[in-house]
Structure 1
Amino acid sequence: MGDDNGRRAELAANLQRVRERIDRACEAAGRPPGAVTLTAVTKTYPASDVLLLAGLGVTDVGENKDQEAAAKAAEVRAAGAELRWHFVGRLQRNKARSVVRYADVIESVDSERLAVALGRAAADRPVPLDVLIQVSIDGDPERGGVIENDLWRVSDSVASSDGLRLGGVMAVAPLGWDPDRAFEKLAVLAGQLAERHPGATTVSAGMSGDLEAAVRHGATHVRIGTSLLGMRNSLR
């Protein structure tokens, strides 16, 4: 119990600092408090941490590996916590049926073939699966994400699927890029997508090191791992 209390206090302090950073970034950008949702990226951390975060008011969590995420989501739900689960890692088509069983949002759709696979897998869901198109800011698809010219084709595919709901875009600032430059480019593409698909207004951008730049350029969700959970590398 002592360890649990100590970890809860650690997470509570980290969460307060992260929320204060988000609030300050919103204020500096002239955006209202609460305009940005915190997604706690809990990959490599145990379900016990997710449950502690849920108790502290976190509503959204992100995972990037199906096998780990499926087991963790089941354990958390069995404990009575209802969270919004985001899959944020690169996703293979053969994992589509597994992921749609627990994920509420897939943030990393980067091809029409993956969109089709997810649409088929999600066809029997009571509500459509929310999907974000991952954008390659620097045009290098090897690191994940669609290049700009493919964004429209992939987004149209998602929007036409009965099992999916097009939510918006996600991106990671490329290594070596100024975050403001990266997220400014993303904001332009997000605006163009919202004109084409008016309901697609989610912009998932910004992590522990660059959330302020992301908020400046219109992020609606920031994905925070290290600043919230620390540097641990294993589930136990």
Structure 2
Amino acid sequence: MTNRRDELAANLARVEERIAAACAAAGRARDEVTLIVVTKTYPASDVRILSELGVRHVAENRDQDAAPKAAACADLPLVWHFVGQLQTNKVRSVVGYADVVQSVDRSRLVTALSREAVRAGREIGCLIQVALDAGASGRGERGGVAPGGVEELAGLVAGAEGLRLDGLMTVAPLTGEYAGREQAAFERLMDLSTDLRRVRPTATMVSAGMSADLEQAVAAGATHVRVGSAVLGVRPRLG
């Protein structure tokens, strides 16, 4: 059986090669793009190996998995990102370990995050999750706020105690005008980021792209890519 460390090291090297090649093709420096490894469903032991291999940013999308894992890895020099849809009743727990919440998409969540950040004596970085597939409801099927709502929500974050407005995040839509047009979607996010930075110049982070479309995200100008399966492998279904 393949040694897990060797397996992760080889996968990580392949992803690094992809990012480096995408940066070169886009005329960007490699250090302009930060790799966030999405460790959801994988054990703390994998996070520990990744840290030994030089990974500094990890992401989770479910608090019930993330909280014990973050506690088990509290001694590691990691930045923890929360990337899933976040219910307000989970905010207190998430604020306990997350350094950045990438899925801020409604005012109630901003209020809850601010309250718990102040209570915990922490500053939490926030990304506004943009739903490029937002329909009449103003929200996307995987969460997020419609592009037209970004400025207002960003203002709420920027004015909230205990929170820091870091930038924008999106997931390539599966439906709507950007379905199958990942690079166009990410370019739209970059346009929104440019607009936001005119008002909030420190909100420079643009999180876009995953295992299948990181090249398109880098080409569009993303500063952070979120890669799970390409580093950790496809987890077998239980049962």
TM-score norm. by structure 2 comes to: 0.93
Of 46, 67, 82, the match for 1:49: 46
The alignment partner of 1:122 has SS state of helix
1:181 Cα deviation from its structure 2 partner: 1.1
1:177 Cα deviation from its structure 2 partner: 2.7
* Alignment map for 1:1-236 (pairs within 5 Å): 6-77=3-74, 80-140=75-135, 141=139, 142-175=141-174, 176-233=179-236
User: Identity of counterpart residues, as a percentage?
Assistant: 55
Q: Is the 8 A contact 2:209 2:217 kept in 1?
A: yes
Counterpart of 2:132 in structure 1: which amino acid?
I
The alignment partner of 2:191 has SS state of helix
Q: Is the 8 A contact 1:91 1:108 kept in 2?
A: yes
Aligned counterparts of 2:121 and 2:34: Cα–Cα separation in 1: 24
1:234 Cα deviation from its structure 2 partner: 7.0
1:233 Cα deviation from its structure 2 partner: 4.3
Aligned counterparts of 1:205 and 1:57: Cα–Cα separation in 2: 21
> What is the Cα-based RMSD across aligned positions, in Å?
1.4
Aligned counterparts of 2:27 and 2:161: Cα–Cα separation in 1: 37
The alignment partner of 1:27 has SS state of helix
Q: Is the 8 A contact 1:25 1:216 kept in 2?
A: yes
Q: Is the 8 A contact 1:170 1:203 kept in 2?
A: yes
The runs of at least 4 aligned residues of structure 1 exceeding 4 Å deviation read none
Counterpart of 1:159 in structure 2: which amino acid?
A
Q: Is the 8 A contact 1:168 1:200 kept in 2?
A: yes
Q: Is the 8 A contact 2:121 2:162 kept in 1?
A: no
The alignment partner of 1:86 has SS state of strand
Aligned counterparts of 2:190 and 2:124: Cα–Cα separation in 1: 23
The alignment partner of 1:219 has SS state of coil
Q: Is the 8 A contact 2:85 2:142 kept in 1?
A: no
Aligned counterparts of 1:227 and 1:91: Cα–Cα separation in 2: 25
Counterpart of 2:196 in structure 1: which amino acid?
L
Q: Is the 8 A contact 1:38 1:224 kept in 2?
A: yes
Aligned residues: 230
Aligned counterparts of 1:131 and 1:66: Cα–Cα separation in 2: 16
Structure 2 unaligned regions, length at least 5 = none
Aligned counterparts of 2:95 and 2:33: Cα–Cα separation in 1: 25
